[in-house]
Amino acid sequence: CANVTIFFIFLSLGTGSNILSALQDLFWLLKSKVEKQLQIISVLQWVLTFLIMGIACTLILMYILCTDCWAIAALYLAWLVFDWNTPKKGGRRSQWVRNWAIWRYFRDYFPIRLVKTHNLLTTRNYIFGYHPHGIMGLGAFCNFSTEATGVSQKFPGIRPYLATLAGNFRMPILRDYLMSGGICPVNRDSIDYILSKNGNGNAIIIVVGGAAESLNCTPGKNSVTLKNRKGFVKLALRHGADLVPVYSFGENEVYKQVIFEEGSWGRWVQKKFQKHIGFAPCIFHGRGLFSSTTWGLLPYSKPITTVVGEPITIPKIDNPSQKDVDFYHSIYVDSLIKLFDKYKSKFGLPETEVLEVN
Write the pLDDT tens digit of every residue in 291-331.
888 999 999 999 999 999 999 999 999 999 999 999 999 99
Average pLDDT of the chain is: 90
Residue 9's nearest CA partner among 27, 22, 24 is 22
Q: Which of 31-45, 84-98, 238-252 has the lowest mean pLDDT?
A: 31-45
Strands 159-164 and 202-207: what pairing?
Answer: parallel
Q: How far apart are CA 161 and CA 158, in angstroms?
A: 10
β-bridge pairing 126-131 and 202-207: parallel
Nearest Cα neighbor of 220 from 308, 132, 139 is 132
Residues 132-166 have pLDDT tens digits of: 999 999 999 999 999 999 999 999 999 999 999 99
308's CB contacts (< 8 A; 6+ apart) are 114, 115, 116, 117, 118, 128, 155, 244, 246
DSSP summary character for residue 55: H
Calculate mean pLDDT across residues 78-106.
95
Helices 16-48 and 101-109 cross at an angle (nearest 10°) of 90
Mean pLDDT across 90-107: 96
Kindly report the pTM of this predicted structure.
0.88
Q: How far apart, in whole angstroms, are the C-alpha atoms of residue 338 and residue 234?
A: 22
**Domain limits, the chain:** 69-357
286, 256 contact by CB (below 8 A) = yes
Alpha carbon dihedral 74, 77, 83, 88, in 10-degree steps, equals: 180
Confidence of residue 10 (pLDDT cuts 50, 70, 90): very low
Report the chain's C-alpha Rg in angstroms: 23
Residue 8's pLDDT is 47
Phi, psi (deg, nearest 5) at residue 243 = -95, 140
Candidate ranges 38-42, 260-264, 290-294; pick with highest mean pLDDT: 38-42
Question: For residue 257, what are the β-bridge partners?
Answer: 284
Tens digit of each residue's pLDDT (9 = 90 or more) over 64-80: 999 999 999 999 999 99
Task: State how far the Cα of 165 lies from the Cα of 280, in Å rounded to an integer.
Answer: 12
CA distance 305 to 251: 8
State how beta strands 284-287 and 202-207 pair.
unpaired
Q: Identify the CA nearest to 133 among candidates 51, 218, 233.
A: 218
Over residues 336-351, the mean pLDDT reads 96
Dump pLDDT digits (tens) for 168-208. 999 999 999 999 999 999 999 999 999 998 899 999 999 99
